[in-house]
Amino acid sequence: MGTPDTIHYLIDLLEFLTEANPEVVFELSAHALLGAGRAQGYQFEHLGVDRAVKLIGRFLADHRDLFEDPGRRQTLVCCLDAFIEAGWPSARRLLYRLPELLQ
């Protein structure tokens, strides 16, 4: 179980490691956001949404090919949904732009 501040530091570390192995970093990030992060309320943290949207935006910009896999694309949407359900407009904007970004 990770507290929101632990999840935040983990996401920072994973963002730093993205270029080494983007596929594994995305899977670990999604696991942290949807597992302990969601259970501990990370999606309600202002810094959490900023970090998650930035990380997901970076994946979409630099590693778009990762999301050719339907399962990974669904995981991406689930990550954004967690923050949308918490009421964050930046996550909603990114979700609305997904079709354009994934082309």
User: Strand, coil or helix: what is 46?
Assistant: helix
User: And the tokens for 82?
Assistant: 């967690």
- pTM value is 0.88
User: Looking at residue 1, what is its pLDDT?
Assistant: 61
Q: Cα–Cα distance between 32 and 2 in angstroms, integer?
A: 8
User: And the tokens for 70?
Assistant: 């339907």
As averages over each run of 10 residues, the pLDDT of the chain (103 residues) reads 85 93 95 92 90 92 92 94 92 88 76
User: Looking at residue 87, what is its pLDDT?
Assistant: 92
